[in-house]
């Protein structure tokens, strides 16, 4: 019972993480609250991968909802035996938790790439990725951020928001990984065997 309540708390934690991922990803489209850069496609290309909106957001909300349903004691039994039903619930929980790792992991990787690449901004040479060749060294050298003339403060905007996305998706990976390990331990330690014995169904 305790592990089931703990699993429900972990699944519930995915919901606010997913909602914040959606909000942060949307903010990336509007540097300093301006919509003109999104409409003219003058944003970093990694914004258009929808890592926070779709994968770490909507898809993780679906995963969280399914996991919460699976943790419910009143869920429908998939077969005649209660033991058999628990086996399937454990297996399904592990599968959806693994999907959660894949979705949030995608957001983590894309956000990290966007952070290292740097913003798409206007410099003295025109619109370009001013720090693309620095291998992320610009992150610790704020003196060169002035190369980006427009949008104003776009370097700080990208660093903060991509860093938040990395943190949120990283937490989602950890939560889903804990759930996978928990469910796997139930199987390996003999709490529930996923091997269906003859005559159960």
pLDDT per residue, tens digit, the chain (201 aa), is 445 556 568 889 999 999 999 999 999 999 988 999 999 999 999 999 999 999 999 999 999 999 999 887 665 555 555 555 677 888 899 999 999 999 999 999 999 999 999 999 999 999 999 999 898 999 999 999 999 999 999 999 999 999 999 999 999 999 999 999 988 887 777 554 444 444 444
pTM of the predicted protein model: 0.86
Enumerate the H helices of 81-139 as residue ranges: 82-117
In a domain, 15, yes or no: yes
Contact 57, 22 (CB under 8 A): yes
- Give the CA angle between residues 33, 37, 41 to the nearest 5°: 145
Q: State how far the Cα of 96 lies from the Cα of 76, in Å rounded to an integer.
A: 17
End-to-end CA distance of the chain: 25
Q: Tell me what pLDDT residue 195 has.
A: 45
In a domain, 187, yes or no: yes
In a domain, 36, yes or no: no
**5: how many CB neighbours lie within 10 A of its CB?**
10
Number of domains into which the chain is organized: 1
Containing structural domain, residue 166: 2-31+47-73+85-191
């Amino acid at each position: 019972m305790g592990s089931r309540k703990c699993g429900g708390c972990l699944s519930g934690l995915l919901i606010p993480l997913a909602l914040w991922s959606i909000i942060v990803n949307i903010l990336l489209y509007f540097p300093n609250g301006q919509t003109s850069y999104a409409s003219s496609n003058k944003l970093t290309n990694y914004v258009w991968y929808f890592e926070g909106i779709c994968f770490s957001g909507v898809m993780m909300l679906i995963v969280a909802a399914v996991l919460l349903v699976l943790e419910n004691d009143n869920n429908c039994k998939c077969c005649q035996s209660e033991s058999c039903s628990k086996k399937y619930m454990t297996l399904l929980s592990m599968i959806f938790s693994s999907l959660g790792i894949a979705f949030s992991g995608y957001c983590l990787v894309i956000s990290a790439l966007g952070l290292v690449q740097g913003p798409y901004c206007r410099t003295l040479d025109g619109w370009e990725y001013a720090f693309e060749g620095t291998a992320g060294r610009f992150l610790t050298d704020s003196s060169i951020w002035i190369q980006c003339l427009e949008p104003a403060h776009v370097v700080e905007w990208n660093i903060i928001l991509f860093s938040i996305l990395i943190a949120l998706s990283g937490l989602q990976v950890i939560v889903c990984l804990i759930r996978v390990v928990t469910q796997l331990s139930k199987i390996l330690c003999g709490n529930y065997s996923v091997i269906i014995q003859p005559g159960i169904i």
